Amino acid sequence: MKDFIIPWDDKDMGTPARTGKPVHLTIDGIAVTVPTGTSVMRAAAEAGIAVPRLCATDSVEAFGSCRLCVVEIEGRRGTPASCTTPVQDGMTVRTQSSRVKKIRRGVMELYVSDHPLDCLTCSANGDCELQDMAGMVGLRDMRYTPGHNHFDPSGTGARSQSEARLRMPVGEANPRYSPKDLSNPYFTYDPAKCIVCSRCVRACEEVQGTFALTIEGRGFDSRVSAGGAADDFLTSDCVSCGACVQACPTATLQENSVAELGTPDRSVVTTCAYCGVGCSFKAELNGDELVRMVPWKHGKANRGHSCVKGRFAYGYASHPDRILKPMIRARIEDPWREVDWDEALGFAAARLTAIRQQHGRKALGVITSSRCTNEETFLVQKLTRAVFLNNNTDTCARVCHSPTGYGLGKTFGTSAGTQDFDSVEQVDVALVIGANPTDGHPVFASRLKKRLRQGAKLIVIDPRRIDLVKSAHVSAAHHLPLTPGTNVAVISALAHVIVTEALYDEAFIRERCDWDEFIAFADFVSDKRHAPESTALLTGVNAQALREAARLYATGGNAAIYYGLGVTEHSQGSTTVMALANLAMMTGNIGRAGVGVNPLRGQNNVQGSCDMGSFPHELPGYRHVKGPEVREIFEKAWRVPIDPEPGLRIPNMLDAAVEGTFKALYCQGEDILQSDPDTRHVAAGLKAMDCVIVHDLFLNETANYAHVFLPGSSFLEKNGTFTNAERRINRVRKVMAPKNGYEDWEVTQMLANAMGAGWAYTDPGQIMAEIGATTPSFAGVTYDRLDELGSIQWPCNADHPEGTPLMHVDGFVRGKGRFIVTEYVATDERTGPRFPLLLTTGRILSQYNVGAQTRRTENVVWHDQDVLELHPHDAENRGLNDGDWVRLASRTGETTLRVRVTDRVSPGVVYTTFHHPDTQANVVTTDFSDWATNCPEYKVTAVQVSPSNGPSDWQEDYSAQAVQARRILPAAE
Amino acid sequence: MRHSDPTADDITTLIETQMHLEGPLLPIFHAIQDACGFVPESALPLIAGRLNLTVAEVHGVMSFYHDFRKTPAGKLVVRICRAEACQSMGGSALSAAVLDKLGLDWGDTTADGAVTVEAVYCLGLCACAPAAMVGDTLIARANVPRLERAMEGAA
């Protein structure tokens, strides 16, 4: 196993960095030059001088409360705090005069007078800034006799908590002592150790933007409080992002894992495997035991922040449900049989070969995973193209962002977002449509909220009142609660206002786009039928509010569009993406920081899996298989003929399976049974196949229909790269050896070789080299470059040797930006007397996608079942109360779940999540899909909701089948 | 002063009376306490929602000020100064005697809800210490009999 410990400096500089003109000063005789606005503390840190401090840390603004960082400045009176004093030209600073040293010792002595002396048994031992500072200031005595304090439960004058227990084994005689708050499953709050530096409160406010913490009381009574007087961490607004734990200088807020396992002694920088934000983390370890995940402050996507999933929800990797041995069975009705790798691969290869002989090469296919690395995805699509000799490859992006690829490809020329996440710091108007960033992309949401608190304006277009519409210190200028399925009508109405009120940027359009095309588009959209007043009845959006939102977007400065699956997962998903691109082009909001069209990608590597040629019609780098010059590149590299015909998409594979022409599927790291629409149809398709190979961490729902199960490795156990929503290629580094024995790319290679492929990769770096050699936008990407630069945003090639943070800066990739006419066409899914409500689906913060990972962590304390949100008006009509069991039925199927009555949804709209397999929200969703890309219309289903007293027939049949299908016979010894 | 649990509508109405102000949080606390005698816990989410703050923030501000009550006080509130000048003039003995007589600790209310005794730090009457306050009446050169008379008078 290769240890990779990153050399970059993680030193805490005390206060945040500034940009500005250089200022020259001298600190302890050392000349230093820093930008204007930098604190004296940070300037000292730049000069290699550490000024003692407790309340300052570089993730939050200086606060000036601990008084430990005092210094002397020539020509100034007193001893200013270095954290709150900005540098000035010619300043001469002394950090170690006898005067400041005496002050620091006195301050430190006061701090320690109300802090237990349990250091040796404290969970922060070795990782405690209070301890470090006591050492640094040379504290040698503690003259205060034990009196009022917060740490001694016995009230007997004990100096440590262990001593207090000895003196008074029962009872708590000190009214100021409060016990630990153990309510959060991942960390503990111990008020007895708090020094009231407010770092946690400030991190919650400034970094996370949740404002769940405060200091309650005053003076000696001050303590950190989560929520109100009656709250604990779990009942408060806390979202468990862990920023407070990271900021805490003592053991007051400490990860339970550290308390249990001890302080880590080494770290490996890697990338989170949850959402498309792609946060960089330091995996901190003892040996190969993971102690904690700490967001890495040099990570360019997350800038040192994380959410509850990335920081804490990694326990699934060692969950007892995880399958570590290969398994096979002749028929899906049989129990699983554990076998060794050779037997499993031999069995799979024999079946695949037999199917190819009997049904032809096109009866086989693969599904690549958006959770696996680029290298692994590349190999899976290579398996079908170079070994099965067809193009039957698809990926879960089919069901999420395929319209993004299509729509942005047609209008701008690249199938990816235009900006980096740093760009949000320069946004003046953010338009969020069909996305719920605080739940789906929490770290991005924190960065957006920070910008909103600085004064940027927000427009939200969503059927639901998502948290961004109104939450502490954030409120949207406009919320347009549209009827699900009317995205195109709403965006066309926005364009109508911009065109008819002449708010467009003519200079930009003339220079960067085709003016005649714009005129044609303007003619189309100026038609009265697109006016907000005309569409209001259809969309449910107030015309005046829409007009004001359009004016704000067009004239409010840098305007950026952020969107999610609420845009793509519609029958007009691709049209909506193009309509958004039109908005950005006509207002000139493309090609610089703070603007752009930004898809928020769902999964960690959904961008990468698309880039790697997972689609049946495209070879890596979005090049159509029909192009002979593209095929030639791969034919030369792989020495096989490439099929010039596009292969089957997932829904086509399933249809073909039901028809009997598609027989074998290798599905890596995706649970199509749970995540794809119309569950019954998926089940029927899988059941009709002769060889389903599931390669996953768990016996997922799809595996109930599988013949071969190949155990997968978690992101902690492999090397590779993930590409996030900003096209940023981040390294994934192996933290521990794979528990199943092999990294996923090795398993794919073994399967290919069992079929005679003769692949000989020994390191994923070799796969990246092959990607770079065959795919122009990755030409400059190598592991050495990634280690050097930290991360790279593609395209990275001779023209952009360090990658491309912003796209379309000097011109669109396709040449001229293209305006495409976007006619609204209503979906075929309509409400009617039997199904009068519209169901839309989404997700929540603590769970992720189908929940295979997060359901196997403590995150279930926040969300242990899917619930249906229903407006009070609709609830009353149906005689339903909060918490009732309801039957949710559509034309496709029905399920049951509990109802939550809330006015977050509009009357006529219901909402649920799809995290739990026993709910199976996708039993209800239809098989309507995007006209261009087949992306399913998850976001609009006509449903009826009625009282129920138990699970639906489907749920009962399904769970019986699942129990049956998951039986495992132990391997013969 | 009305010592009853206000409804959500009462609280909302009181909040609205202060919304024209810049930084209305403290005035809202005052308005509620003036009207109800205390600021009930149930008011915090309403205030937070109206001002787009979190309950934590509202709680943090309210708990900083000792004068805002979480529970109703007794019918009569007696405040005895514990600041330096009054202490040097026998304030400690005075307060000990009063608390002892009523069987209370600082901040407590008699079982019949008649009297609450609270500490106060300086009433601005240092020149005629020790000082106290019975209801809204300031008492200079306070002693036990004078306080008792004032309390009887107020009751």
Q: Give me the pLDDT at residue B95, please.
A: 94
Mean pLDDT throughout A112-128? 92
The tens digit of pLDDT for each residue in A158-167 reads 888 888 888 8
Nearest by CB to B41, from A228, A474, A475: name it.
A228
Mean pLDDT throughout A225-229? 94
Put simply, the answer to whether A226 touches B60 (Cβ < 8 Å) is no
Q: Which residues of A touch B65 (CB under 8 A)?
A: 218
Q: Give me the pLDDT at residue A931, please.
A: 85
Q: Which residues of A touch B48 (CB under 8 A)?
A: 472
Q: Name the nearest CA neighbour of A797 among A811, A780, A812, A809.
A: A780
Measure the CA–CA gap between A932 and A578, rounded to whole angstroms: 12
- By C-alpha distance, the chain A residue nearest B52 is A472
Give backbone dihedrals phi and psi of A531, rounded to 5 degrees, phi first: -65, 145
Mean pLDDT throughout A39-55? 96
- Return the higher-pLDDT residue of A2 and A237: A237
Nearest CA distance, A217 vs chain B (angstrom)? 5
Token pair belonging to A389:
């000799």
Amino acid at A236: S
Nearest CA distance, B103 vs chain A (angstrom)? 19
Q: Are strands A30-35 and A22-27 parallel, antiparallel or unpaired?
A: antiparallel
Q: Give me the pLDDT at residue B155, please.
A: 66
Measure the CA–CA gap between A314 and A714, rounded to whole angstroms: 9
Give me the long-range contacts of B94-98 (CB less than 8 A, separation at least 24): B94/B130, B94/B132, B94/B142, B94/B143, B94/B144, B94/B147, B95/B119, B97/B144, B98/B144, B98/B147
Token pair belonging to B92:
């400690």
Put simply, the answer to whether A211 touches B53 (Cβ < 8 Å) is yes
**CATH architecture for the domain at A22-121:** Roll (3.10)
Put simply, the answer to whether A212 touches B53 (Cβ < 8 Å) is no
Q: How many CB pairs under 8 A join A and B?
A: 62
- By C-alpha distance, the chain A residue nearest B42 is A228
User: Strand pairing partners for A464?
Assistant: A905
Nearest CA distance, B18 vs chain A (angstrom)? 19
Mean pLDDT throughout A562-590? 93
The DSSP call for residue A144 is S
B39 interfacial to chain A (CB closer than 8 Å): no
Q: Name the nearest CA neighbour of B3 among B105, B104, B74, B108.
A: B74
Nearest by CB to B56, from A226, A470, A474: name it.
A226
Binned at pLDDT 50, 70 and 90, residue A8 comes out as: low
Binned at pLDDT 50, 70 and 90, residue A284 comes out as: very high
Q: Where are the beta strands (DSSP E) in A436-547?
A: 457-461, 470-471, 474-475, 478-480
Q: Which residues of B touch A228 (CB under 8 A)?
A: 41, 44-45, 55-56, 58-59
Nearest CA distance, B52 vs chain A (angstrom)? 5
Nearest CA distance, B118 vs chain A (angstrom)? 16
Put simply, the answer to whether B56 touches A225 (Cβ < 8 Å) is yes
* A66 has a pLDDT exceeding 70: yes
Measure the CA–CA gap between B44 and A183, rounded to whole angstroms: 22
Q: Give me the pLDDT at residue A163, please.
A: 86
- Answer for the pair A227, A235: CB distance below 8 angstroms, yes or no: yes
Binned at pLDDT 50, 70 and 90, residue A171 comes out as: low
Q: Which residues of A touch B45 (CB under 8 A)?
A: 228
- Return the higher-pLDDT residue of A467 and A931: A467
Binned at pLDDT 50, 70 and 90, residue A972 comes out as: low
Give the domain ranges of chain A.
22-121, 129-134+141-318, 327-399+606-793, 402-597, 837-965
Amino acid at A689: M
Q: Give me the pLDDT at residue A617, please.
A: 93
- Answer for the pair A506, A586: CB distance below 8 angstroms, yes or no: no
Q: Note the ipTM here.
A: 0.90
Put simply, the answer to whether B57 touches A214 (Cβ < 8 Å) is yes
Give backbone dihedrals phi and psi of A961, rounded to 5 degrees, phi first: -65, -40
Q: Which residues of A touch B69 (CB under 8 A)?
A: none
- By C-alpha distance, the chain B residue nearest A218 is B64
Can you name the CATH fold of B76-154?
Answer: Glutaredoxin (3.40.30)
* A245 has a pLDDT exceeding 60: yes
The tens digit of pLDDT for each residue in B112-155 reads 999 999 999 999 999 999 999 999 999 999 999 999 999 988 76
- Answer for the pair A488, A785: CB distance below 8 angstroms, yes or no: no
Nearest CA distance, A206 vs chain B (angstrom)? 14
B64 interfacial to chain A (CB closer than 8 Å): yes
* B4 has a pLDDT exceeding 80: no
Mean pLDDT throughout A610-634? 93
Cβ partners under 8 Å of residue A455, min gap 6:
none
Token pair belonging to A297:
């402050």
Mean pLDDT throughout A694-721? 95
Q: Give me the pLDDT at residue A917, please.
A: 76
Token pair belonging to A232:
């604990």
Do the annotations mark residue B122 as ligand-binding?
yes
Q: Give me the pLDDT at residue A6, please.
A: 46
Nearest CA distance, B57 vs chain A (angstrom)? 6
Q: Which residues of B touch A226 (CB under 8 A)?
A: 56
Put simply, the answer to whether A472 touches B53 (Cβ < 8 Å) is yes
Q: Give me the pLDDT at residue A4, please.
A: 43
Q: Give me the pLDDT at residue A3, please.
A: 40
| A837-965 is a CATH 2.40.50.140 domain | no
The tens digit of pLDDT for each residue in A445-495 reads 999 999 999 999 999 999 999 999 999 999 999 999 999 999 999 999 999
The secondary structure of A696-754, three-state, reads ECCCCCHHHHCCEEEECCCHHHCCEEEECCCCEEEEECCCCCCCCCCCHHHHHHHHHHH
Do the annotations mark residue B36 as ligand-binding?
no
Q: Which residues of A touch B56 (CB under 8 A)?
A: 211-214, 225-228, 231, 236-237
Can you name the CATH fold of A327-399+606-793?
Answer: Rossmann fold (3.40.50)
Tell me which of B47, B53, B54, B105 to substitute to probe the interface with A (most A C-beta atoms closer than 10 Å). B54
Tell me the percentage of chain A whose pLDDT exceeds 90. 79
3-state secondary structure of A526: helix
Q: Give me the pLDDT at residue B2, please.
A: 46
Q: Which residues of A touch B64 (CB under 8 A)?
A: 216-218
Put simply, the answer to whether A474 touches B64 (Cβ < 8 Å) is no
Tell me which of A196, A202, A204, A211 to substitute to probe the interface with B (most B C-beta atoms closer than 10 Å). A211
Nearest by CB to A227, from B53, B56, B65: name it.
B56
B44 interfacial to chain A (CB closer than 8 Å): yes
Give the domain ranges of chain B.
8-64, 76-154
B137 interfacial to chain A (CB closer than 8 Å): no
The tens digit of pLDDT for each residue in A524-570 reads 999 999 999 999 999 999 999 999 999 999 999 999 999 999 999 88
Put simply, the answer to whether A237 touches B44 (Cβ < 8 Å) is no
- By C-alpha distance, the chain A residue nearest B45 is A228
Measure the CA–CA gap between A54 and A128, rounded to whole angstroms: 10
- Answer for the pair A951, A886: CB distance below 8 angstroms, yes or no: no
Q: Give, in order, the Cα–Cα distances in Å from A352 to each of A105, A358, A703, A760, A904.
A: 74, 10, 17, 21, 50
Q: Where are the beta strands (DSSP E) in A547-663?
A: 559-563, 596-599, 618-619, 623-624
The tens digit of pLDDT for each residue in A853-884 reads 888 999 889 988 889 999 999 999 999 999 99
State chain A's mean pLDDT as an integer.
92
The tens digit of pLDDT for each residue in B63-108 reads 999 889 998 899 999 999 999 999 999 999 999 999 999 999 998 9
Tell me which of B63, B65, B82, B105 to substitute to probe the interface with A (most A C-beta atoms closer than 10 Å). B63
Nearest by CB to B64, from A218, A472, A475: name it.
A218
Measure the CA–CA gap between A296 and A318, rounded to whole angstroms: 23
Sign of CA dihedral A497, A502, A505, A509: positive
B41 interfacial to chain A (CB closer than 8 Å): yes
Give me the long-range contacts of A791-795 (CB less than 8 A, separation at least 24): A791/A280, A791/A299, A791/A300, A791/A301, A791/A728, A791/A729, A791/A730, A791/A731, A792/A728, A792/A729, A793/A420, A793/A726, A793/A727, A793/A728, A793/A729, A794/A416, A794/A611, A794/A723, A794/A727, A794/A729
Put simply, the answer to whether B54 touches A230 (Cβ < 8 Å) is no
CATH number belonging to domain A129-134+141-318:
3.30.70.20
Put simply, the answer to whether B56 touches A473 (Cβ < 8 Å) is no
Q: Which residues of A touch B40 (CB under 8 A)?
A: none
B54 interfacial to chain A (CB closer than 8 Å): yes
Q: Give me the pLDDT at residue A829, please.
A: 85
Put simply, the answer to whether B52 touches A475 (Cβ < 8 Å) is yes
Token pair belonging to A254:
């400490």
- Answer for the pair A326, A339: CB distance below 8 angstroms, yes or no: yes
Put simply, the answer to whether B52 touches A213 (Cβ < 8 Å) is no
Minimum mean pLDDT among A213-217, A319-323, A432-436, A934-938: which range?
A934-938
3-state secondary structure of A207: helix
Binned at pLDDT 50, 70 and 90, residue A711 comes out as: very high
Q: Which residues of B touch A218 (CB under 8 A)?
A: 63-66
Mean pLDDT throughout A28-55? 96
Tell me which of A202, A206, A216, A235 to substitute to probe the interface with B (most B C-beta atoms closer than 10 Å). A216
Minimum mean pLDDT among A95-109, A685-699, A938-952: which range?
A938-952
Nearest CA distance, A212 vs chain B (angstrom)? 6
Top-level CATH class of A402-597?
Answer: alpha beta
